[in-house]
Amino acid sequence: MIIDLNHYNKIVFFTGAGMSAESGVPTYRGSGGIWHKYNWKEYACQVAFDKDPQQVLDFHELRRKSVLECETHKGHHFITELQKIYNDVTIVTQNIDGMHQRAGTKNVIELHGSLWRLRCDDCGFAIDDIGESFTKKKCDCGKYLRPDIIWFEDMLNTKVIQQASERIQECDLFISIGTSGVVWPAAGFPQEAKSNGAYCIEMNTESTELSYLFDEVIICRASEIGKYFID
């Protein structure tokens, strides 16, 4: 089935790890994922950062390097082109890799933060920092800056979640790409969209536990999504 986007006014793309997998972005939990090689308790939690911030920052520089070696694909660029045609296209992503932005996409809500930002939890300072190495590791207040991402044992940013929920509740087309969507609060997003009258489409390489919620399920790779739409 081909979806005519001209029938919709407010579109939300909800993307997960499967959106970046074809770009070669390393996974974290799956087969061969980072957490099979590294212990997250030593590299990806606040306790580890408080104990040895330099070790944690060094690890995240390795992550940044691996992502910078990856390239965006046709799926990323399809969404970017849609934003040039339609006024209200929002991306809500679970990814921290910034691949959407590298493809030129705007209006991206990052549920789990970004590898390309640092923040100081003491004074509130925050900075965008794009590159293989961090350009600034310490805040002017003297404290180490930490990556602005959701680590294990962190609480999600309630303002970001609220922003995402508001966009999803307002949309009339909700498209989930490359995510199982079983982790809360993201697991509730398809139902939020559907409850407010949105047409819901799941696009993934396989069906998921939430496939039954969607009006249409399309089995495909993230790079192939463009061929299922008329714009």
C-beta of residue 164 within 8 angstroms of C-beta of residue 193: no
CATH number reported for the structural domain that contains residue 125 in this entry: 3.30.1600.10
Check whether residue 12 and residue 37 sit in a common domain.
no
The reported pLDDT for the residue numbered 71 is: 96
Q: Hey, what are 189's tokens?
A: 């997003």
Distance CA 57, CA 84 (A): 37
- Three-state SS annotation for 141-172: CCCECEEEECCECCCCCHHHHHHHHHHHHHCC
Check whether residue 201 and residue 125 sit in a common domain.
no
The reported pLDDT for the residue numbered 89 is: 98
Q: Hey, what are 84's tokens?
A: 């040039």
Domain that holds residue 126: 26-69+115-149
DSSP line for the chain: --EEGGG-S-EEEEE-HHHHHTTTPPPSSSTT-HHHHS-HHHHSBHHHHHH-HHHHHHHHHHHHHHHHT----HHHHHHHHHHHH-S-EEEEES--S-HHHHTT--SEEETTEEEEEEE-TTT--EEE--SSS-S--B-TTSSBPEEEE--BTPPP-HHHHHHHHHHHHH-SEEEEES----STTGGGHHHHHHHTT-EEEEEESS--TTGGGSSEEEE--GGGGGGGEE-
Catalytic residue among 60, 73, 76, 112: 112
The reported pLDDT for the residue numbered 185 is: 82
Distance CA 208, CA 66 (A): 28
Whether this prediction's pTM lies above 0.75 is answered by yes
Beta bridge partners of 127: 118
The reported pLDDT for the residue numbered 32 is: 56
Check whether residue 42 and residue 4 sit in a common domain.
no
Q: Which residues of the chain have pLDDT under 70?
A: 27-36, 231
100 is catalytic: no
Check whether residue 91 and residue 57 sit in a common domain.
no
Check whether residue 136 and residue 219 sit in a common domain.
no
Check whether residue 59 and residue 139 sit in a common domain.
yes
The reported pLDDT for the residue numbered 33 is: 62
Check whether residue 62 and residue 77 sit in a common domain.
no
The reported pLDDT for the residue numbered 42 is: 86
Check whether residue 9 and residue 40 sit in a common domain.
no
The domain total for the chain is 2
The reported pLDDT for the residue numbered 30 is: 55
The reported pLDDT for the residue numbered 31 is: 52
Q: Hey, what are 159's tokens?
A: 């303002």
The reported pLDDT for the residue numbered 180 is: 84
